[in-house]
Amino acid sequence: MKYMPILSIGMSSLFAKPKYTIGQKTRHIRDAFILPQFWSNPQYKEMYVSHPWDTIIIDNAMYEDDKAIPFGDLIDISKELDARKIFIVPPEDHKDPLNTARITIDGIDSWGVKGPTWNMLTIVHGLPSQATKMFELLWEFDDLAFGVTVSMWRAGYDRSAVMSSCPCSGDHYFHAMGLDSISEMVGLREAGFNSVDSSMAATAAANNIPLNIDTVIRRNGSPSDPKRVPILQESFPVETTDQTFINIQEMISFLEV
């Protein structure tokens, strides 16, 4: 299972391929999750075009802005990247999961389920029963990937069980959209998810949260919630960046099987 860390531009050095250390293997960061609303920022763009990747997911920007960047624009971004595999997220309807399925089918009619270098990755959300219905409407598209939202976990649902309700073949790629819990990450791996994205590594470092003790970053909408590290922040204390790297290495190690 792949871990895609979401980092600020001030931590871009962590995306450079690290060297091996004496007596301990340092794992490469080979996978990335792109927030396209920042693509016009030269430093943000440079983080991702400066070296090759294994797998990249390009989000639709709706989680932050509630307005999707056009799918064609996301395809243009994909053309600037050097990656073995790229997944692109089409628009969704946060209030109506079944309409998200219909939007996805319309997108497939317009763009196809895959291009020369990318596959479509649609968002599964809502109640578990709604997620199951989405799968029923979409599973026939063999090359379609699915992203199951962290909002389902926050509502108390088991994303691994949600995935198991899909009558899918092995051709479908599953991604966990966002992560708040280390223990859930292990469960997602065991259930067969292919990847997960999260800002946990950087957020924990910036907020002095030891992930080996506080394994869940809780956000209840209160002012005391741990603040996510701003994506466009250009500098951090060396200690914060170093701890972020340590957190990334530990999170990747949880996913190695």
Statement: residue 251 has pLDDT above 70? yes
- The total domain count for the chain is 1
- Judge contact between 51 and 34, C-beta under 8 A: no
Among 190, 110, 104, which residue's Cα sits nearest to residue 139? 104
Statement: residue 38 has pLDDT above 90? yes
Count CA within 13 A, CB hemisphere, residue 161.
Answer: 8
Among 31, 56, 187, 170, which residue's Cα sits nearest to residue 121? 56
Rounded-to-integer distance, Cα 60 and Cα 67, Å: 8
The pLDDT mean for the chain works out to 90
Q: ∠ at Cα 174 (82, 216), nearest 5°?
A: 100
Which conformational region is residue 156 in: left (phi greater than 0), alpha (psi within -120 to 50 degrees), or beta?
left
Backbone angles phi, psi at 83, to 5 degrees: -145, 150
The more confidently predicted of residues 41 and 220 is 41
Lowest mean pLDDT among 11-25, 55-69, 102-116: 11-25
Statement: residue 81 has pLDDT above 80? yes
Which H, E and C letters describe 28-60, residue by residue? CCCEEEECHHHCCCHHHHHHHHCCCEEEEEECC
- Give the range of the structural domain holding residue 79, as residue numbers without chain letter: 2-255
The more confidently predicted of residues 168 and 204 is 204
CATH of the domain at 70: 3.20.20.105
Band (169; pLDDT cuts 50, 70, 90): low
Q: What percent of the chain has pLDDT over 70?
A: 92
- pTM for the predicted model, two decimal places: 0.92
pLDDT tens digits, 41-72 = 999 999 999 989 999 999 999 887 778 999 99
**The pLDDT of residue 223:** 54
